[in-house]
Amino acid sequence: MSAAGSREPASTRPLAGRTALVTGAGRGLGRAAAEALAEAGAEVWLLARTESDLETAVKAIREFGGRANPLACDVTDAGALKRAIAGLPGLDIMVNNAGTNIPEPFIDVSEDHLDRLLGLNVRAAFLAAQAAVNKMLEAPDRSTRGGAIVNMSSQMGHIGAAGRTVYCLTKHAIEGLTKALAVELAPNRIRVNSVAPTFAETPMTAPMFQRKEFSDWVHARIPLGRLAQPEDVAAAIVFLVSPSAGMITGTSLLVDGGWTAQ
């Protein structure tokens, strides 16, 4: 992303006049996506459960002249999630980002961990997309205005990996949801795609990379030789929701440094 003070004029921003929602926006990939969308001209609503993270993220966006609003909500609380999205003044773009992972051997996966990942990565993502589409369809000019959803997937939505059975399960589900939504919502001019990153440097992955064996294993499998940065993923999201991707729907944009090309 651009350095503070070097943002493009609003007249050149591809998302000017659009309203965006990002879930899991308090930090990591969600925060990077919110910043990039605001930089591209959108008014962004940042949804997360931790108010202090939201305050920090919103302040950072406002400091460079972006338009941002906090929306404190736990996406696993279906009622609160639906009310929060229904209360937005309008919606053109939705980034379905909230999710987590609990790496562990298949035979050790507890029902609690299984339910937790399915509840956040799949159920909450489904309901968030459903609420977002209902909000988008309220716009009287939707047939001409269009809309865009990006679901946060993973390279693990395209491959398998030891110790990540439940995570792979949930991300393959997201890929299926993306395709089905793209087909169903096309008549409403709402495009639906996914972004599938490789391992990125985020607060969620930081503890993993403190283990040298794991870090070496990951780096050895990325042909470009580096981890993804949040800005790499955010740039892909901005592209997919912009007019430049107007004919792209139902696909997954792999931001994986070549991992899945092997």
Q: Which of 245, 198, 193, 192 is nearest to 220 (CA)?
A: 198
Q: Is position 167 annotated as part of the catalytic site?
A: yes
Give the active site residue among 59, 82, 135, 167. 167
From the number of C-beta atoms within 10 Å of its C-beta (0-12, 13-18, 19+), residue 212 rates as exposed
Whether 22 and 223 have beta carbons less than 8 Å apart is answered as no
Q: Which amino acid is at 159?
A: I
Per-residue CA distances from 15 to 43, 53, 261 (Å): 9, 24, 32
From the number of C-beta atoms within 10 Å of its C-beta (0-12, 13-18, 19+), residue 226 rates as exposed
Give the active site residue among 59, 82, 135, 171. 171
Tokens coding 28: 């990591």
d(CA 192, CA 183): 9
SS3 category, 226: coil
Q: Which of 229, 222, 104, 200 is nearest to 161 (CA)?
A: 104
Question: Catalytic amino acids?
Answer: 167, 171
